[in-house]
Structure 1
Amino acid sequence: MKKQSGFTLIELMIVVAIVAILAAVALPAYQNYTKKAKMTELVAATGAVKLAVELCAQTKATPTTYGDECIKSTNGIPANVTSGAIEITTAKVDESNVSVTAKVGASGAAPLSAGDSYVLTGTVDGNSKVTWKATCVNGSKTLDYCP
């Protein structure tokens, strides 16, 4: 009798099952990774506005006028962009807080969903230093792929 070499069908099925399990685990992790990478575009989009708000806080505003002064284009703050793939807006939260929001527009920025937002909230202290806190949201839902 001649000895057979090679793989049996059951061995091949086991290998295919193992590869399928690994792919099932890796795919959601990869999708989250790609969303986090795309969200960095929103972070980068807020950079110019963030810098302008910090300069305004140090040169044009006091801690009590920061919320009003550091959202005006006359004080060097870029105008709101409300169309396109990424929309950027600044808004007064209160006297000592300003928010800078970069949001995925209606035209989208796949793999992100329309409405996914990167929100920076800047709080000024008595020395005109701005401290930033970042959150990633879509409506009232906090996103888990915030960079």
Structure 2
Amino acid sequence: MKKQQSGFTLIELIMVIVVLGILAAFALPKFANFSGDARLAAMQGASGAVKSASAIVHSAALADPAAVTAGKVDVEGDIALVGSYAAPTALGIGLAAQLSAGDFTIDVATADTFIVKDKTKSACLFSYKMAAADSVPTITTTALTAANCD
């Protein structure tokens, strides 16, 4: 009577390792660019926070005309205003959207433009610009692309 042998042969084990190696070689490049995608998503999230904060501050300013006269409105802190919108400064839209200089590079290029850049990729950015004293601010996100954030 023969004894039943169980287990895998050495050749079978080597073939499994080869197949796994080939699969890994094709799959790894698909998952290698997570940092660029994460950077782009973080910047898009910050842009959304700025849009929301701008609308909330404008609503709060319209509800309290004395705040517009004083040049600041209390929305989780004193937010600096230009007209009835958040000012394009760190104490304006930066504070309203709770953007941290530890997370982003904050740049005030001119008196009317607030620019938020990624810490490692300066081309990955968006801007918040006031056209006039009480006009709707423009939030430009055209530089938020995969090419700029990779």
Q: TM-score, normalised by structure 1?
A: 0.48
Structure possessing the higher radius of gyration over alpha carbons? 2
Q: More helix by proportion, 1 or 2? A: 2
Q: TM-score, normalised by structure 2?
A: 0.47
